[in-house]
Chains A and B, each alone.
Chain A
Amino acid sequence: MTYKITEEGNISTVFLDGEIDMDVTEKAKEIILPLVEAGKEVHLNLKDVSYMDSSGISVLIESHQKALEKGTKVIVKEVSKSVLKVIMMAKLEQILNLG
């Protein structure tokens, strides 16, 4: 997994690339959670994420819940078809902010 972050005002957009599994979960959290902790609105762009398993879904949930605690939000954007399927299998499409 690789990533890129762009900043615009209070919005941080994190572009994740590759496959998100248990092996990269900690790295993904280290990228996303500090931005949420800092009160940023975080946009997670997943257009280049080709695979995500339950560990990746856990990162999305944890980020979302942390954002609620901090009074901000995480918006999941440009979800690839394969990742959307996993999100829907977990019945999270109504819970996560899909933009």
Chain B
Amino acid sequence: MNFFNTEVNQISESKDFQVSSASLKEVRAFTRDVFKKISLPQEQKDELVLAIAEAAQNIVKHAYKDVEETKDKMQIKISLKNDQLEIGFFDKGKPVVPENIQHRKLDDIKPGGLGTFFIKQIMDEAIFKKNQKGWVNHLVLTKTI
């Protein structure tokens, strides 16, 4: 269920997406729609869209690694309270071991491994929370905007 408070500094919206690379376009569209309601420089909105899309991509690429096709959904929840932006990602893929998540060193030029780096560059914090009912992984990205 989506809920939208019309106050500019308070938002809580969520949406489910099919776990598929084809959904990433929809993830960006949803994110852009939510950010239209927030007063922020466009450049910062673009960065946040990138961070959210990268986190969604990580679900498809890593939590569902070696899964050809799935009917599973992932959920993205964007919340803003005053200047605190929180984005939650929920999925039912393989359990993530946070200690194993590392971006590649930037001077090791090779394809891949940049998504997590972008997320860390853009957001203040990225943490996995435990014990989410009905979900396996719950990533929370936060940023003071």
Which residue of A22, A57, A86, A95 contacts B60 across the interface (Cβ within 8 Å)?
A22
Chain B contact residues, majority secondary structure: helix
Task: Encode contact with B along A3-45: 1 for CB under 8 Å, 0 otherwise.
Answer: 0000000000000000101110000000000000000000000
Chain B residue at minimum C-beta to C-beta distance from A62: B111
In the assembled complex, the Cα of A17 lies from the Cα of B46 at a distance in Å of: 18
Cα-based distance from A99 to B54 in the complex (angstroms)? 27
The number of chain B residues touching the other chain, given as a range, is: 20 to 34
Which chain A residues lie closer than 8 Å to B106 at the CB level?
90-91
Nearest CB of chain A from residue B107's CB, rounded to whole Å: 8
Determine whether A61 belongs to the interface, using a CB cutoff of 8 Å to chain B: yes
Given known pairs A53-B53, A53-B54, A89-B121, the reply for A21 and B24 (CB within 8 Å) is yes
* B21→A22 contact, CB < 8 A: yes
Of residues 34 to 67 in A, which have CB atoms within 8 Å of B's CB atoms?
Answer: 51, 53-55, 57-59, 61-62, 65
Q: How many A-B residue pairs have CB under 8 A?
A: 64
Q: Which of B33-41, B69-77, B87-95, B112-120 contacts the other chain?
A: B112-120
On whether the beta carbons of A95 and B28 are closer than 8 Å, the reply is no
30 residue pairs from A and B, CB less than 8 Å apart:
A19-B25, A21-B24, A21-B57, A22-B21, A22-B24, A22-B57, A22-B60, A22-B61, A53-B24, A53-B115, A53-B118, A54-B54, A54-B57, A54-B113, A54-B114, A54-B115, A55-B57, A58-B111, A58-B112, A58-B114, A59-B111, A61-B109, A61-B110, A61-B111, A65-B110, A85-B46, A86-B118, A89-B118, A90-B117, A92-B109
